[in-house]
A and B are shown apart, each in its own frame.
Chain A
Amino acid sequence: MDFKFTSEQNMLRKMIRRFAEQEIAPRFAQIEKEGYQQDITDRMAELGIVGIAVPEAYGGSGYDFVTQTMVIHELAKVNPGVAFTLEAHWKAVDQVVTYGSEALKERWLGRANSELFTFGQTEPASGSDAGTQQTSAKRVDDGWLLNGNKAFLTNGVLAASVYLVLAITSPEKDLENSRTVFILDNQNPGFENGRVEDFIGMRGCPVGDFYLSDAFVPDVDRLGELDQGMEIGHEAHHTARFLMGALAAGIQDQALKLAVDYVLERELFGQPMAHLDGVKFRISDIAMGAEATKLIMYHAAWLKDQGLHQKSETTMAKLFGSDYALKAANHAMQLFGAYGYSREYPVEHLWRDAKALQYAEGAYEKLQIDIANVALFERKGESYL
């Protein structure tokens, strides 16, 4: 077991840190106020950061999942919202790399170095209950006509230009064998952007919806086999969730740094707060959660790199990470006293950002059930490591 990053990863981490500190951190107030900033994405594209998950054959640098996780973590330490845009992008890119035909990859993957992708599964009336999805694809000569409405898309409306869309292709079949994924862009005549959500957290990442009205997609842009869509959707979640763990770890690390700096400086009853046991209990909780989240998320990413089963581990990375990110943000706010409740201090946004992790890429309760089902019916009580 080796917990060290490689020299290559260390060098990349240093580069990402420098970029985040120099070019994202100073934009914090602007991002909180105005939301998504396209020029930050453009700059990340120019520097080769957007293409980190894209194979070299298609113009990217093709880093593995452990390294992708490390990059998301570094960005999230400075701005979880900006990191979130890449999480959604790389999740979608991974599906194109894994399931795309050579022709499809040639058509789309080059763009993944400079434009953001996203994966549309959720609909206004269909989240955890995927059986109620309505978006459909009807076979026509040379392709498909897609109709429907996807909602709550990370990167939606403002950031993404390329969309993976899950649509019903065989309504007569069961849920797991009736859907197919298609890829299209926002220039498709049948594509129309909807609204951007006014979410309280993750301000650097837009979330929105779109409509498809007889959007024609050629058959070459069908991702994977006919009716393989749910499998691709599940796989996308598996990739997304350890990356979500990295967002959570970034929030926790930020909370730890802010809280530690504050309690070492702030005096209470004639001594720095750091010497009070009640304060130490909270600091311990933040530090422990952060370390545990990192271990789970890197383990899940490593399993994926090895081609090993990681369905439960990746889900734990997101679930545990989101739980402790919220706790860490809450502890940090409490330690700051009333200052923690003020927008003037860079603490309260951590709580708003952390809360997003309990909805995105699978609702908290759905993930609990997924973990339990693996423990109960697949591993039948066998331990994980």
Chain B
Amino acid sequence: MKIAVFIKEIPLSNNVKIDPKTNNMIRSNEQGRINPFDEHAIEVALQLKEKYGGHVSVVSMGPPSFQMSLREALAMGCDDAYLLSARAFAGADTLATAYTLAQAVKKMGDVDVMLFGLKAIDADTGQVGPLVAEALNVPHVTAVHEIKQVNQAQKTMDVAFMNETERVVVRSSYPLVLSVSDAGSTPRYLSPLKIKHVMKQDITIWNETDLGCDFDCIGTSGSPTTVTNTFVPKEAARAVKMLEGSPQAAAEALVTILRDQHLL
């Protein structure tokens, strides 16, 4: 089974800077971290390989500094790594990113399962996985927490996900795209021995020419999204009111306050 897991490197939370011209996040060469949901996607990918055999590739798109996050994924147990890196990819929104990733999947060839984290905790869109599925015209299941069963003869897969109210298991043919939630797995630790070895492992780097990209579909020219403004919400001032008197009187006063605020 050929498995590809797609990861995004996000800034460490105290390290975010915004470009005043584009209002986009500046992705500097400073070390970031793997998006936490993507770590769950890696874990599900590795469990799939351990159970059914196969090969797990990890893929990311970004500047050369993202190689360190790819090496972390290798130290978790992925077999090889691809970085899609070129100036032409810069400024890509979710649509252009999905197009670029889909081009990479086509070049890799015969990928059975494509795993994404449910969403990235920096931009919080959750769109790239489904958009890649659309670009490749394959099924997609979102918020997956477990792969229950794989029928390799019939090329189908039973996957469990949570909707708003209940747990659902669906059977889908593959190739397919899965967006993985954090509900069903615990990402494994990096292995000290693998950490040593992955530092010397080659990472395949592909640019827009390698992927045969249509220039109108990548980077800023392939991105219909325009960020008009970015701001940090002001923290609302918190006021504390102590309710005095007997427990009953305090409870009654609390109910009145909640009603006044339309919370009850």
Contact = CB atoms under 8 A, between A and B. Distances in A.
A61 B68 contact: no
Contacts of A172: none
A218 B31 CA distance: 52
Interface residues of B, number: 13
A8 B189 contact: no
A358 B95 CA distance: 62
Interface residues of A, number: 19
A63 B191 CA distance: 13
Interface in B54-82: 68, 71-72, 75
Contact of B192 (A7, A10, A12, A18): A12
Interface in A30-52: 47-49, 51-52
Contacts, number: 44
Nearest to B33: A14
Contacts of B75: 11, 15
B193 A15 contact: no
A15 B192 contact: yes
Given A8-B199, A63-B196, A15 B31 contact: no
Interface string A188-227: 0000000000000000000000000000000000000000
A231 to B, nearest CB: 30
A15 B189 contact: yes
B193 A56 contact: yes
B191 A48 contact: yes
Contacts of B211: none
Given A8-B199, A10-B31, A52 B68 contact: no
B190 interface: yes
Interface of A: 7-8, 10-12, 14-15, 18-19, 47-49, 51-52, 56, 60-63
Q: Can you list the 4 inter-chain pairs with the closest CB atoms, starting with the nearest?
A: A61-B193, A15-B190, A61-B192, A48-B192
16 contacts: A8-B195, A8-B196, A11-B68, A11-B75, A11-B190, A15-B189, A15-B190, A15-B195, A47-B191, A49-B192, A52-B192, A56-B193, A56-B196, A61-B196, A63-B192, A63-B196
Interface of B: 31, 68, 71-72, 75, 189-193, 195-196, 199
